[in-house]
Structure 1
Amino acid sequence: MSNKLTPTQHAILSHALAQTQGKVLWFPNTLKGGAKAKVIESLVSHGLISQKKREIAVTKAGYEALGLKPPVAEPRIVRTRETSKQATVINMLKRAEGSTIDQICEATGWQPHTVRGAMAGALKKKLGLDIQSTKESGSDRVYKIST
């Protein structure tokens, strides 16, 4: 396809990039039924959008057709057993000072009920860890893995 977009194609791509982070969710009201399907088919066949399952997104070529630079994908953090949230919790509980529910929530992004559930289920029942808790007057409850 030449760099020449139809006004309808331009409107669809521009809206997707300006309003929905590159997801094609909007079509002009004048575009109905078969005409809408033809425009989508044309954009896909020219590589300007990609359609995966029910999600339609603007491609690198779609950005370039509008004279824009495509965003650079940020590298994903690969989780391993050593860098999992469960490993983080275990390491926090192994510290000499132990850890509070709030500290674990901050480190993992979990809600307090999720932390308590993980300690009771995954750590105690499944892994068999002996988790002790202590509470001193005027301070938060501290949890530790006893060794």
Structure 2
Amino acid sequence: MTKLTETQTIILSAGAQRPDNIALPLPKGLAGAAAKMAVTRMIGHGWLQEVDANLHRGEPLWRETGDGHGTTLVVTEAGLLAIGIEPAVASAVAGAQNTKPTPKPAPTLDAADTMKPVAIRVGTKQAQIIAMLQRPDGATVAEMVEATSWQAHSVRGMISGSLKKKLGLPIASEKVEGRGTVYSLAAGV
């Protein structure tokens, strides 16, 4: 597996957080020949793909095609996997972000503050819990405690804090006779 450079990681992480996984705009300071070289390498690895830009939706242009149209850059599933994000989780996060009724105001950043990209690393307990919630029959707190060796309050905290609030995943819960409260990712995710 090819090791990512810092610039490649920044481009892929930022793109994974945007609607439709659009990788533009590129980081500040990356322009001209350096930008072209970085993008060309990432396309070669299959991490980015050039697609027709929808100018009516205001998608940013990577280059003009000469016939009055242009292309934009999109992070592929391979690009998501390269930074440790499962494509199913990324689409769930994007779907959840698109269904929120009222967007939260953007946080104000001081010069010392920076926004950190959301990345779900493969093989972590968080990824394990998400996989359990994606099962057709969902998972109970007891099942997640057994799988992760965490305390029950830690599992509930992960569900409400990290998954619901930070990632915006639509977690549903229902009482099932004989099992107790079963948590699952809402249908369509």
Give the structure, 1 or 2, with the largest relative contact order (CA under 8 Å, sep 6 or more): 2
Query: Which structure: larger Rg?
Result: 1
Using the size of structure 1 for normalisation, the TM-score is 0.45
